[in-house]
Amino acid sequence: MTTMNAAVVTSFDEPPHYRGFETPTPHGEHEVLAEVLAAGLHPRVRSGASGSHYTSTGTLPMVPGVDAVARLADGSLVYFISDDDRVGTMAERTVIDLRRAIPLPEDADVARIAASMNPAMSSWVALHARVEMTPGASVLILGATGSAGRAAVQVARRLGAGRIVGAGRDPERLEAVTRLGADAVIQLTDDADATARAFAQTAAEVDVVIDYLWAAPAALAMSAILHARADRSRRLDWVQIGSMAGSDITLPSALFRSANLHVVGNGQGSVSPAGYRAQLPALAAEVQAGTIGVEPRTEPLADVERAWTERELPGERVVLVP
Ligand SMILES: NC(=O)c1ccc[n+]([C@@H]2O[C@H](COP(=O)([O-])OP(=O)(O)OC[C@H]3O[C@@H](n4cnc5c(N)ncnc54)[C@H](OP(=O)(O)O)[C@@H]3O)[C@@H](O)[C@H]2O)c1
């Protein structure tokens, strides 16, 4: 048995520890062992490491990490998404299923790709594969102040949105969303009536909602928008992507009968691995070109325990480097 250094979760209540772990073995014609160069610490990684993600099996110890930039044995660089059943990417080496990998140029900005692909692919894949966004469409991003929300502003603009509205809690972070290119912002406050009025005034005529929050803010926004819409039979596409505000929602049935509301999800399962892979090369090119992406904050993998608990600055994503 050979071992490698890795971030190892031994309890769902603690951050991972840096320690030895058995090097995984590739199986079948599509799998290879590769050297990890950089792996992003995304919310999905945290929920997997706390046992709370919907794909979690409850098995410990585990190595977290859902994607990474890696170097193959022939020296080439790839970005890849990990298979849920495998050892994760926060390790010196990992097994890659080449059907979930895309080639990167030798001069790829490894840290930026590792930081940006996960947050950016949520809206990129949603707007390519889950809804049809017509040129000039009006897009609302619920949860626009996070990394995925900020990337969604850039993605929507790049894909031809005519108007972009960002909604979030933090006023300073909302200002940054405006600087990124949003045409208007809505602050989510504890005053539900005022927040509903803001959605009615600013977002009643949107065509697509990209929702990273769900739960109470999504229910409030949905109701306010549909009630304020000039023509309720005009289609509203609601793409559910994250659940930062909670995993459950209560919606009056009348909302669906009284308006042309289409709710779909975007995530593992709603789009096949091949469907994701098909979208990734073009997104990686945008990230490499600097048109879309978040700022990486690189940390040594050996410091994973500290990096895990330190708060990220707005627009920043921790990237662990073995
Ligand atoms: N399905 C997919 O393909 C996919 C891909 C990427 C991400 N996601 C999901 O998308 C979500 C966001 O990811 P991210 O990378 O943007 O995370 P992030 O950078 O940590 O940002 C989280 C955002 O959620 C906001 N937030 C947290 N709790 C909230 C609440 N109770 N009410 C309103 N806003 C709240 C935060 O607002 P403040 O700024 O006010 O703290 C912040 O803007 C996560 O659930 C993630 O798992 C899904």
How many angstroms is it from 319 CA to the middle of ligand 1?
A: 17
**What percentage of residues in the chain have a pLDDT greater than 90?**
90
Which atom of ligand 1 approaches the CA of 265 most closely?
Answer: 1
For ligand 1, whether the C-beta of 147 sits within 6 Å is yes
Average pLDDT over residues 72-91: 91
Question: What DSSP state is assigned to residue 277?
Answer: H
Tokens at 13, concatenated: 């209540």
pLDDT value of position 83: 79
Phi, psi angle pair for 198, to nearest 5°: -65, -40
Q: How far is CA 174 from CA 112, 181, 223, in A?
A: 23, 11, 22
Angle, to 10 degrees, between the axis of helix 215-228 and the axis of helix 192-203? 50
Tokens at 248, concatenated: 């459950």
Strands 184-187 and 163-168: parallel
pLDDT value of position 304: 97
How many angstroms is it from 311 CA to the middle of ligand 1?
A: 13
Phi, psi angle pair for 142, to nearest 5°: -95, 115
**What percentage of residues in the chain have a pLDDT greater than 70?**
99
**For residue 312, what pLDDT band results from cuts at 50, 70 and 90?**
confident
**For residue 85, what pLDDT band results from cuts at 50, 70 and 90?**
low
For ligand 1, whether the C-beta of 16 sits within 6 Å is no
Average pLDDT over residues 47-72: 87
Please give the sequence-ordered ranges of beta strands (E in DSSP) within the chain, or none if there are none. 3-8, 17-22, 31-40, 67-71, 77-81, 93-97, 101-104, 138-142, 163-168, 184-187, 208-211, 236-240, 261-265, 295-300, 316-321
Average pLDDT over residues 66-81: 97
Predicted model pTM: 0.95
- Nearest-CA residue for atom 10 of ligand 1: 242
Average pLDDT over residues 207-218: 98
- Nearest-CA residue for atom 8 of ligand 1: 242
Q: How far is CA 2 from CA 27, 63, 82, 91, 255, in A?
A: 16, 16, 21, 13, 57
User: Is the pLDDT reported for residue 103 higher than 80?
Assistant: yes
Average per-residue pLDDT in the chain?
95
Pocket test for ligand 1, best of 123, 141, 212, 264 (most atoms within 8 A of CB): 212
Which atom of ligand 1 approaches the CA of 188 most closely?
Answer: 33
- Nearest-CA residue for atom 20 of ligand 1: 146
pLDDT value of position 53: 73
pLDDT tens profile 159-183: 999 999 999 999 999 999 999 999 9
- Nearest-CA residue for atom 30 of ligand 1: 245
For ligand 1, whether the C-beta of 170 sits within 6 Å is yes
Average pLDDT over residues 193-210: 98
Residues linked to residue 34 through DSSP beta bridges, in sequence order: 94
How many angstroms is it from 115 CA to the middle of ligand 1?
A: 15
For ligand 1, whether the C-beta of 168 sits within 6 Å is yes
Pocket test for ligand 1, best of 41, 140, 244, 310 (most atoms within 8 A of CB): 244
Q: How far is CA 75 from CA 133, 209, 238, 280, 312, in A?
A: 39, 41, 42, 21, 32
How many angstroms is it from 30 CA to the middle of ligand 1?
A: 33
Phi, psi angle pair for 252, to nearest 5°: -65, 135
Average pLDDT over residues 90-105: 96
For ligand 1, whether the C-beta of 157 sits within 6 Å is no
Please give the sequence-ordered ranges of beta strands (E in DSSP) within 159-255, or none if there are none. 163-168, 184-187, 208-211, 236-240
Average pLDDT over residues 230-257: 96
pLDDT value of position 165: 98
pLDDT tens profile 264-293: 999 888 999 899 999 999 999 999 999 999
